[in-house]
Amino acid sequence: DKSGDYARGALQGRCNALTTAVTDAAFLRPAGAPLGPGERSLKHHCLFIAEGEWSPTCTRLGVAKTVDRFATAIGMVINMELDPSHPRTLRSHVANMGLGLNTLKSLGIDCENLEYLKGETHYIAVTVRKKSLLDLGVLKEDKGGRELLKADNVDLDKLVAAARKVAAVIGIPETARFCDFHPVKLFDFSSRARCLTPFRVLGVAGDLRAGASTAAMDAEAHPLLRAAQDGWHAREVAQLEEVRTAKAKARAEADEKLRA
């Protein structure tokens, strides 16, 4: 549950939120700016970010996002080395019911679904219920928000043991080794974030020699960008207002029927 990290705004319901950020001038600096201890400079004209919903880079670059919230959903990802001598009968598959999930449930691992991909490695992704992870001791305490899956709340030995059980049910031999890179990971996908705009335009304000600073120019940089942004915002507000009006009307009609 990531709800503690987001706030609702106007025309937003219980399952929607908005996260905002301010450009961090200490993170995005002009070329030639002095570096601190352990820092290195990455010169670029265009930067593509693929860090996921909690991207620290997006936050420091001032990227605003809308967030859709769902019920608590925890994923377990397992990567194991693929040995050519392993059984060739294993095939990639997806399961959301059946013997495999029932067997896992009998072992204390209650999963909603499971995906196995056989490629360069054995890749397994399962949606596992939080209660199972707590009962198995994988999660030490039932905490809220980001605290739930923090390293200090996860027993790695028990997590690896649970992953080994999942692999065994699929048919992966006990001799298979976990990959050195991301062997077993837990992640929270109980919400989905989308950027309000698909890009940001950032520039340097002032004289570099006199201590220039960074500035956001998303809408200001070009009249066409400004017009497109204003148009999108007007359409978005109108659509949200239509949804709000329809829900209010439906609620009023339901109340009227109850009073009748």
Q: According to DSSP H, which parts of 115-155 are helical? A: 130-135
Residue 49 and residue 85 in contact, taking contact as beta carbons nearer than 8 Å: no
* Residues contacting residue 191 through CB under 8 Å, at least 6 positions apart: 2, 3, 6, 17, 53, 67, 68, 69, 70
Given a cut of 80, is residue 10 above it in pLDDT? no
Given a cut of 50, is residue 125 above it in pLDDT? yes
Residue 86 and residue 172 in contact, taking contact as beta carbons nearer than 8 Å: yes
Residue 16 and residue 68 in contact, taking contact as beta carbons nearer than 8 Å: yes
* Angle formed at CA 95 by CA 90 and CA 96, multiple of 5 degrees: 165
Averaged pLDDT for residues 4-26: 61
Return the closest-CA partner of residue 65 out of 21, 2, 22, 14.
21
Q: What is the pLDDT of residues 186-243, one digit of tens each?
A: 988 877 788 877 778 777 666 545 555 666 666 656 677 777 777 887 888 888 888 8
User: Hey, what are 258's tokens?
Assistant: 């109850």
Residue 170 and residue 100 in contact, taking contact as beta carbons nearer than 8 Å: yes
Return the closest-CA partner of residue 175 out of 87, 110, 236, 99.
87
Q: How confident is the model at residue 143 (pLDDT cuts 50, 70, 90)?
A: confident
Q: How confident is the model at residue 15 (pLDDT cuts 50, 70, 90)?
A: low
More confident residue, 165 or 194: 165
CA separation for the pair 100, 126 (Å, rounded)? 12
What value does the mean pLDDT of the chain take? Answer: 80
CA separation for the pair 133, 112 (Å, rounded)? 13
Given a cut of 50, is residue 6 above it in pLDDT? no
Amino acid at 58: C
The alpha carbon dihedral of 223, 9, 146, 131 has a sign of negative
Amino acid at 53: E
Averaged pLDDT for residues 83-106: 79
More confident residue, 165 or 219: 165
Residue 260 CB neighbour total at 10 angstroms: 5
- 3-state secondary structure (DSSP) of residue 63: coil
Residue 25 and residue 33 in contact, taking contact as beta carbons nearer than 8 Å: no
Phi–psi pair at 119, nearest 5 degrees: -135, -120
CA separation for the pair 38, 10 (Å, rounded)? 42
pLDDT of residue 131: 92
CA separation for the pair 107, 124 (Å, rounded)? 17
Residue 235 CB neighbour total at 10 angstroms: 10
Given a cut of 80, is residue 182 above it in pLDDT? yes
- Rounded to two decimals, the pTM is 0.59
Give the range among 147-156, 172-181, 196-205 with minimum mean pLDDT. Answer: 196-205
Give the range among 103-117, 127-141, 142-156, 187-201 with minimum mean pLDDT. Answer: 187-201
Helices 156-170, 99-106: inter-axial angle, 10-degree rounding: 150
Q: How confident is the model at residue 60 (pLDDT cuts 50, 70, 90)?
A: confident
CA separation for the pair 255, 162 (Å, rounded)? 50
